[in-house]
Amino acid sequence: MQGMMTVFWKELADDFTSKRFVILFLVVLLAVGFAIFISVQAIDALKEAVTTGTHFVFLMLFVPPIDLPFFMRFIFFIAFLVPLIGIALGFDAINGEKSSGTLSRLLAQPIYRDSVINGKFLAGVVTIAIMLTSIVLLVSGIGLNIIGVAPTAEEVLRLMAFIAIGTVYGAFWLGLAMLFSIFFQRVATSALASIGVWIFFFFYVLMFAGIIASFVAPVGETQLSQLQNAEVQIMLMRLSPIQLFEESATFVLGPEAITKMQYLQLQAQAASKFFTPAPLSFGQSLMIVWPHLVSLVALTVICFAISYAKFMREEIRST
Amino acid sequence: MSKEPVIEAIELTKTYNGLKAVDKLNLRIEEGEIFGFLGPNGSGKTTSILMMLGLTEPTSGTARVCGYNSTREPLKVKNLAGYIPENVGFYDDLTTGYNLAYMARLSDIPEGVIKQRIEEVLDTVGLKGMAYRKVGEFSRGMRQRLAIADVLMRMPKVAFLDEPTAGIDPRGIRQTLDLIARIAKENKMTIIMSSHQLAQVQRICTHVGIMQKGKMVVQGLISQLGREFLGGGRFKIEVRLAGVAAAILEAIKQVKGVVKVDRPEENLLVISSRDDVRSQIAKVIVDNNGLLEQMNVVSYALEDIYMKYSVED
């Protein structure tokens, strides 16, 4: 435990003082600027929402009630960005120490071997959580200035849930990057492998889901066949952690905006059976999100467990 | 079996993909010894060290450090042993002090002690006042000394040094070795050191072992090795004369301690002896009216022993 906390504090300090962090922080600022930009675009819709007294006006800063192409949505941007942070924090966790010659010295200290990866993983997760929190706080602060409406207690809860989901999502990518950093000897290889998986989930899963779905449940004349096709497609897409995050973040942040967002038309169709025109309560939103969250945690645990098993059994060799 | 050995290896074996990296290594090192671990690249030195430290699991056999089994109680062994790996590395972006403090915290040294200890050990290794410098700025020799400082933070009973002199300049090698010898003496630390620098090993080590293809081929006190394995004296004295008379040759052979006299060149004599008998030889030559031009003593280099054993392929 002592060993793990020592590694944790050292890694956390590293994460926050490295040049890498400066770059990531710039990316964070980019995300904030992006969200604010979109809010300003949607300022009329926001004003209207304020005057009509709609629920969750504050959340609309994050999910504006206007039609936007998918790549201009805040949640998509976060879904895209968080993997980058996770990978950047983890891709050289173990092989970086190996190539700098510090790993063998580290393991020669009287600590359990798992302290090293546990401490590193924990430090990465905390860094991701801090980054997400600062994104949310910055957008909230600036947004508060723009719309002048304070968040309600439920909105604060929802934002916290969003940070939590984002952190789990980031933890998955961190775990994956660390996994590759254990399996590959070279830092460049592990970085490329992580980025490869990222790209695969981002583009290919969506593509393949469409193709496979049209084989399994071809779209016919009937509405039923369209719905079946959509369901198959979404089921396949949910294999991707990106999809899991996007859906759950959308459910948490946009309890009423979701139908308006035309978030992948198909998905809206399939999801419409969940939604009634009235916004869902926080508890019900969580209920919907729960399986997604469990899947994300499971994926993270799988990555970490494989890393753990491999690292514990790995031999320090003379090379 | 006078006392418990500090390091003990019994039939230690390591197989990588059917290839024996270390083959039934038996080793016994007692307190205060400086053991020079020699052998060509890939002869299994590092693997042996890693097994003794508990960083690598042996295929069979056991290694013990201060009575603790390295495989079953690695934490206890690591508590007692310091280790400097080959190509030692530090966190280059961090300061010297932080590097030392980090490893010290991992070994559970109280925070209050660490700060004071850092000053002490940096002073010992000749890096005084460098605590706030980044390690990235250091030369290879300084890094090596920093590695020794790192080991000293914990004052282990045993230190495993893997190639501590690799890649540093002659002056640096001398400084490093003197430092190791001094520390070992002052702290009664047992040291295992692997190296290619034979002359250097000879200077500070009390015992040596030569490994060859995973097997320990020779092992013992340096002073004994020369006698036992070269069938001659430990000293080799080269004498150059202006003309060698038969009388001189005979007279030299009579000097006490002389084992053998060779005459590889007309005016050159190579004398093997058990002791340093230069003054006696000089006297004999002068007494026999010989003209002494030059005389060198070459103590039997470990290199000779090393070569003898590493040729046997």
What residue segments make up the domains of chain B, in order of their start? 7-226, 231-301
pTM: 0.83
For the four alpha carbons of A150, A152, A158 and A161, in that order, the dihedral sign comes to positive
SS3 for A178?
helix
A38 vs B100, higher pLDDT: B100
Whether residue B75 and residue A110 make contact (CB cut-off 8 A), yes or no, is: yes
Query: CA end-to-end span of chain B, whole Å?
Result: 34
Q: Is the pLDDT of residue A284 over 60?
A: yes
pLDDT at A15: 85
In whole angstroms, what is the distance from residue A131 CA to residue A117 CA? 21
* Range from B10-19, B216-225, B257-266 carrying the lowest mean pLDDT: B216-225
Whether residue B108 and residue A10 make contact (CB cut-off 8 A), yes or no, is: no
Whether residue B85 and residue A112 make contact (CB cut-off 8 A), yes or no, is: no
SS3 for B17?
coil
Helices A74-90 & A19-41 angle (0-180, nearest 10): 180
Q: Is the pLDDT of residue B104 over 70?
A: yes
Q: Which of A7, A18, A105 sits opposite B83 (nearest CB)?
A: A105
Report whether B70 contacts B54 (CB < 8 A): yes
Report whether B206 contacts B34 (CB < 8 A): yes
Q: How far is CA B107 from CA A121, A122, B175, B276, in A?
A: 21, 20, 27, 48
Mean per-residue pLDDT, A260-289:
60
Mean per-residue pLDDT, B127-150:
90
CA distance A176 to chain B (A): 24
Position B233 confidence tier, pLDDT thresholds 50, 70, 90: low
Mean per-residue pLDDT, A139-151:
86
- Angle among Cα A168, A171, A176 to the nearest 5 degrees reads 135
pLDDT at A260: 38
In whole angstroms, what is the distance from residue A12 CA to residue A215 CA? 48
Query: B167 CB near a chain A CB, below 8 Å?
Result: no
Query: For residue A315, which residues of chain B lie inside 8 Å, CB to CB?
Result: 55-57
pLDDT at A263: 44
Query: For residue B82, which residues of chain A lie inside 8 Å, CB to CB?
Result: 108
In whole angstroms, what is the distance from residue A257 CA to residue A149 CA? 18
Position A266 confidence tier, pLDDT thresholds 50, 70, 90: very low
Report whether A312 contacts A114 (CB < 8 A): yes
Percent of chain A with pLDDT over 70: 90
Q: Taking CA atoms, what residue in B is nearest to A314?
A: B56
SS3 for B165?
coil
Whether residue A10 and residue B150 make contact (CB cut-off 8 A), yes or no, is: no
Encode pLDDT of B34-91 as tens digits: 999 888 888 888 899 999 998 888 999 999 999 899 989 988 999 999 999 988 889 9
In whole angstroms, what is the distance from residue B53 CA to residue A65 CA? 63
Report whether B300 contacts B292 (CB < 8 A): no
Q: How far is CA A208 from CA A105, A205, A276, in A?
A: 46, 5, 30
Report whether A170 contacts A130 (CB < 8 A): no
* Range from A250-254, B175-179, B271-275 carrying the lowest mean pLDDT: B271-275
Encode pLDDT of A73-103 as tens digits: 888 889 988 999 999 999 999 999 988 889 9
The β-bridge partners of B194 are: B37, B162
Whether residue B84 and residue A105 make contact (CB cut-off 8 A), yes or no, is: yes
In whole angstroms, what is the distance from residue A182 CA to residue B151 CA? 27
CA distance B112 to chain A (A): 15
Encode pLDDT of A182-234 as tens digits: 999 999 999 999 999 999 998 888 788 888 888 888 887 777 887 888 888 88
Query: For residue A317, which residues of chain B lie inside 8 Å, CB to CB?
Result: 16, 47, 50, 56
State CA A14 to chain mean position distance.
22
Q: Is the pLDDT of residue B110 over 70?
A: yes
Whether residue B106 and residue A7 make contact (CB cut-off 8 A), yes or no, is: yes
Report whether B269 contacts B175 (CB < 8 A): no
CA distance B238 to chain A (A): 42
Report whether A85 contacts A275 (CB < 8 A): no
Q: Is the pLDDT of residue B191 over 90?
A: yes
pLDDT at A259: 42
Mean of pLDDT over chain B = 85
Q: Is the pLDDT of residue B114 over 90?
A: yes
Whether residue B56 and residue A3 make contact (CB cut-off 8 A), yes or no, is: no
SS3 for B88?
coil
Nearest residue to B45 via CA among B80, B21, B16, B17: B21
pLDDT at B226: 59
Encode pLDDT of B249-300 as tens digits: 888 888 888 888 888 888 888 888 777 788 888 888 888 888 888 888 766 6
A282 vs B51, higher pLDDT: B51
Q: Is the pLDDT of residue B220 over 90?
A: no
Q: Is the pLDDT of residue B142 over 50?
A: yes
In whole angstroms, what is the distance from residue A3 CA to residue A8 CA? 8
B274 vs A61, higher pLDDT: A61
B231-301 CATH:
3.30.70.100
Q: Is the pLDDT of residue B1 over 70?
A: no
Q: Which of B56, B75, B86 sits opposite A315 (nearest CB)?
A: B56
| Residue B29 CB contacts under 8 Å (≥ 6 apart), including other chains | B5, B6, B7, B8, B35, B190, B192, B207
CA distance A83 to chain B (A): 25
Position A180 confidence tier, pLDDT thresholds 50, 70, 90: very high
pLDDT at A66: 74
Whether residue A105 and residue B88 make contact (CB cut-off 8 A), yes or no, is: yes
- Lookup: tokens for A20: 């890498």
Domain B7-226, CATH among 1.20.120.1200, 3.90.1310.10, 3.20.20.70, 3.40.50.300: 3.40.50.300
How many beta-carbon pairs below 8 A join chains A and B?
Answer: 72
Burial of B64 (C-beta count, 10 Å sphere; 0-12/13-18/19+): buried
Per the document, the length of chain A is 319
State CA A44 to chain mean position distance.
29
Report whether B159 contacts B84 (CB < 8 A): yes
| Residue A310 CB contacts under 8 Å (≥ 6 apart), including other chains | A179, A182, A183
Q: Which of A2, A3, A105 sits opposite B85 (nearest CB)?
A: A105
- Lookup: tokens for A113: 């071997």
